[in-house]
Structure 1
Amino acid sequence: MMKSVFYENLIKYGAWLLLLSIWSCSQQATPTASDTGTATAETSNPAVENSYQIPVDYYTLDNGLKVVLSPDKTAPLVTVAVYYNIGFRIEPKDRTGFAHLFEHMMFQGSENLGKMEFIQLVQKNGGILNGSTRFDFTNYFEIVPAHKLETMLWAEADRMKGLNITQENLTNQQGVVKNEVKVNVLNQPYGGFPWLDMPQYANKNWYNAHNFYGDLEDLDAASLEDVKSFFDTFYSPNNAVVVVVGDFESEQAKAWMQQYFGSIPSGNLPEPANLTEPRQEKEQRFTKDDKLATRPALAFAYHMPERNSPEYYAMGLLDQILLQGNDSRLYQALVQERGYTGSVDGGINAFLGNMFNYNGPMLWMGSLIHDKDVAADSIVNVLDMEIQKLQQEGISQELMELAIVKMRSSLYDQLSQMSGFGRADLLASFALFDNDPARINQLEAEFRKVTPELLQKTIREYLRPTNRTVLLVNPQAKS
């Protein structure tokens, strides 16, 4: 799923990060009852303040660059994350996969750093890095020892100022991305299922429904002029946010931000694309042949409520009740009770992020691989039955509290990921999409506002069969 060529870097340093994460978690304050999974009467009380507040210092440079600083002294590390407000959703038509291709180009050299020297700079200073392309942003981050913060800010500013855009570099990275498509999608059983496939079937608007990994012909067609124009249009400071999380002094970080980023000129941004999707009025079903798959698979998707609406938060809790964890209704019904499959995966913005780091139409999606003697209709019938139970029997206070505890646990897992990157990801998303990174401290309260009545309203409108798309994988390989 949009793994960059630097993904192996993360695997290489995975044990190191795990140890740091364990150490960091051990330094946190003693957990409350709901931290440990014990629901209390306070769990669903909107008046209860979050027990853990993340420091957020947010401001904007004169050139429009958004800056978020979030100090954390639990480990001598810093995470620097640069998010550009451009993802594969709004890449140029007839240039599918272009946003992802450009992500690779950002490592091909800049004014003071030659080809691949950015990567070497991070690694030789004891750090790790990665980049990725998602629906609504392209991001780059480094996790380094704290005393290397200035070096990372200088390096990120250097490539924001301008890339070494050459035909040689473009041709090279076109080949890299094409191979990535072949390895991760074309030559894999269930390649692209369902994270790449489902948006193309469920959505109607081209921006939400095209092959964002890239058709091979489109990747070949990208020209040097395309790359230069894309950089000048979208990789400007007024279309970006820089987030720093970790062990640093805020005033010194601010001085470096001004020193290295302050002189980069603003860009002329185009009018935002129209991403709206029509209301779906009829269930859609599609079948995809897979020459490498040996067992059938099924995915389902429902269009989500508008981001940040009351129903959006209600869907977050319904996701916890229906799909997340071994205690979820669908896991119990499909795996434990009927044995139709060994697992059910999915969620909101599934496989490409989380329910917070996108900005546009989105799907709540689930998927499973099942035996050939299990009919697809049997699986869909179970899905309908479990949703109808929630609608007919109502959602008890006990079930509400359990969902909030699970959501709280999921949120704090996100915040503690990779020694600061999980926190940086949410801060960057809320800065880019809401101009309010402090919203990170309001999420728990928003979920606590959800009532049983709101859950019922959300089920009726968003989990109706006519809002659903079902995608079947027809296996073509011999088992």
Structure 2
Amino acid sequence: MIKKSFSILGLLLLGAISQAQEIKFQEYDLPNGLHVILHQDNKAPVVTTSVMYHVGAKDEIENRTGFAHFFEHLLFEGTPNIKRGEWMKIVGANGGTNNANTTDDRTYYYETFPSNNLQLGLWMEAERLRHPVINQIGVDTQNKVVKEEKRLRVDNQPYGNIMTAIKEGLFKKHPYKNTTIGKVADLDSAKLEEFLTFFKKYYIPNNATLVVAGDIDINKTKEWISDYFSTIPKGAPIVRNFPKEDPITQETVMTYYDPNIQLPAYLYTYRTPGDKTRDAKVLDMVSSYLSNGKSSVLYKKLVDQEKKALAVQAVNIGEEDYSVFAFFAIPMGATTEGTLRADIDAEILKLQTDLISEEDYQKLQNQFENQFVNSNSSIEGIASSLANYHVLQGDTNLINKEIEIYRGITREDIRDAAKKYLNSNQRVIINYLPEKK
């Protein structure tokens, strides 16, 4: 979705939170299984209404990839009470903004309005859940939109297929092997009935979390939520039983060709535990220590001092079932893949052998404190965090206490995580090369 800015922007800025503070909330379930989270903040007349559905790319079946992302677009087509093409107009005419996004694990829709339009936001999200119009006209229209998005963001973007390569390398059984945007051929061959079946299975109250955050009256909000959502029928329970990946016990090498690049990139990728685990949070700190900012270990060594790389990064990509830890490097001049690998491995070995300095440890703690404050610095950010913590972490109050987990991570934990997960026999090396003409 393309995000549009309206007059609400000024109100959002007024609603920013300047420092970390406890995020108070209430949560409860409707009889149909819809989970509701309410956060009251009356400092600015702004409210965000959002719904997160626990459905993402991993819920798609073989040869029908891209459905979850497709629905991110399709569910803006309208309802019996919102004419086709009117969704954005209604939001804009009432001083609001709206958007949606999809990952491998969930799909998220939201509107932010001046708080006197809260009832409108609730009605629109209830309309989307109760009876969206899913017909061939909408499917054909959004098929063209998704194709254009894929062309611009992936197919014609330099290094745009990095995640495609990583997923192909690390996942053989689990549906994480597919990308969120999916394959055009799968969407082209899908029938209307298949889209209707996907909606009926996953877009149900008992697979959804409604978050209302901002300038609200709690009792009135509960009354409206009951009015609009409680009569939507509960769906059949969703059972997930994804195949488990075999451990990686031997280093492998693969090659991926990209027609949009002139310089190669090299990736060293590891499959690591899902984002709910404490180890995933330790690996967040490992990646930040190695490459967050120009003073980080890898940037300072390979880019700044020795001029061996144009770019280098270590990232920990957290997902619900598995995470991905990956090093990415673009060589400078005649620097070889072997040289980059040796230098990265040397830094991994240091992490596995020695404790990082107390100064670097305090720097990491400061970085994560800052990230924590920034993630909850707006009403939209708080709404998103509340939904993510409940749906993907299973604990809404992590919005307040997750920072304590990071504060509790020790230098020894960082060393031990590197020793446990970042060994050469546990990785896939990806040579990401320019396509030969």
TM-score after normalising by structure 1? 0.86
1:363 is aligned, of 303, 315, 324, to 324
Partner of 2:431: 472
* Runs of 5+ unmatched residues, structure 1: 1-5, 30-50, 350-354
Q: Aligned pair 1:330/2:320, yes or no?
A: no
Q: 1:310 to 1:191 in 2, by over 3 A?
A: closer
Aligned 8 A contact 2:143 2:187 in 1: yes
- Residue deviations 1:289-334 (CA, integer Å, cap 9, x gap): 2222111122332222343333222212212211222222111122
For 1:179, the aligned partner's letter is E
Q: 1:382 to 1:220 in 2, by over 3 A?
A: same
Q: Aligned pair 1:445/2:404, yes or no?
A: yes
Aligned pairs (5 A) from 1:3-18: 6-7=1-2, 9-10=3-4, 12=5, 17=9
Shift of 1:451: 2.3
Question: Separation in 1 of the partners of 2:8 and 2:127?
Answer: 28
Aligned 8 A contact 2:52 2:109 in 1: yes
Question: Separation in 1 of the partners of 2:39 and 2:244?
Answer: 34
Shift of 1:275: 5.0
Shift of 1:252: 1.5
Partner of 2:165: 197
For 2:115, the aligned partner's letter is A
Question: Separation in 2 of the partners of 1:220 and 1:347?
Answer: 34
Partner of 2:223: 255
- Residue deviations 1:353-383 (CA, integer Å, cap 9, x gap): xx4xx41111022434333522122222221
- Residue deviations 1:370-420 (CA, integer Å, cap 9, x gap): 33522122222221111111222222333322211111112222222xx32
For 2:284, the aligned partner's letter is G
Aligned 8 A contact 1:291 1:476 in 2: yes
2:379 is aligned, of 405, 416, 420, to 420
- Residue deviations 1:408-435 (CA, integer Å, cap 9, x gap): 112222222xx32222222111211344
- Residue deviations 1:412-471 (CA, integer Å, cap 9, x gap): 22222xx32222222111211344211211111111222233222211111112222222
Aligned pairs (5 A) from 1:127-146: 127-146=96-115
Question: Separation in 2 of the partners of 1:20 and 1:465?
Answer: 50
TM-score after normalising by structure 2? 0.94
Question: Separation in 2 of the partners of 1:246 and 1:342?
Answer: 44
Shift of 1:344: 3.2
Question: Separation in 1 of the partners of 2:238 and 2:182?
Answer: 23
Partner of 2:118: 149
* Runs of 5+ unmatched residues, structure 2: none
Q: Aligned pair 1:90/2:59, yes or no?
A: yes
Question: Separation in 1 of the partners of 2:143 and 2:404?
Answer: 45
Aligned 8 A contact 2:11 2:46 in 1: no
Shift of 1:218: 0.8
Question: Separation in 2 of the partners of 1:406 and 1:371?
Answer: 29
Q: 1:252 to 1:284 in 2, by over 3 A?
A: farther
Q: Aligned pair 1:402/2:370, yes or no?
A: no
Shift of 1:206: 4.0
2:196 is aligned, of 225, 228, 236, to 228
Question: Separation in 2 of the partners of 1:471 and 1:21?
Answer: 42
Shift of 1:346: 5.3
1:461 is aligned, of 405, 408, 420, to 420
Partner-residue secondary structure (3-state), 2:163 = coil
RMSD: 2.2
Question: Separation in 2 of the partners of 1:147 and 1:378?
Answer: 60
Partner of 2:44: 75
Question: Separation in 1 of the partners of 2:419 and 2:237?
Answer: 39
- Residue deviations 1:252-283 (CA, integer Å, cap 9, x gap): 11111111111111101331132532221122
Shift of 1:24: 4.0
Greater CA deviation, 305-314 or 281-290? 305-314
2:129 is aligned, of 140, 146, 160, to 160
> What fraction of aligned residue pairs are identical, expressed as a percent?
30
Question: Separation in 1 of the partners of 2:382 and 2:337?
Answer: 39
Aligned 8 A contact 1:345 1:368 in 2: yes
Partner of 2:266: 298
Greater CA deviation, 449-458 or 53-62? 449-458
Q: Aligned pair 1:429/2:388, yes or no?
A: yes
Aligned 8 A contact 1:275 1:360 in 2: no
Question: Separation in 1 of the partners of 2:87 and 2:371?
Answer: 33
Aligned 8 A contact 2:273 2:321 in 1: no
1:209 is aligned, of 177, 180, 203, to 177
Q: How many residues align?
A: 437
Aligned 8 A contact 2:163 2:179 in 1: no
Question: Separation in 1 of the partners of 2:101 and 2:278?
Answer: 30
For 1:399, the aligned partner's letter is D
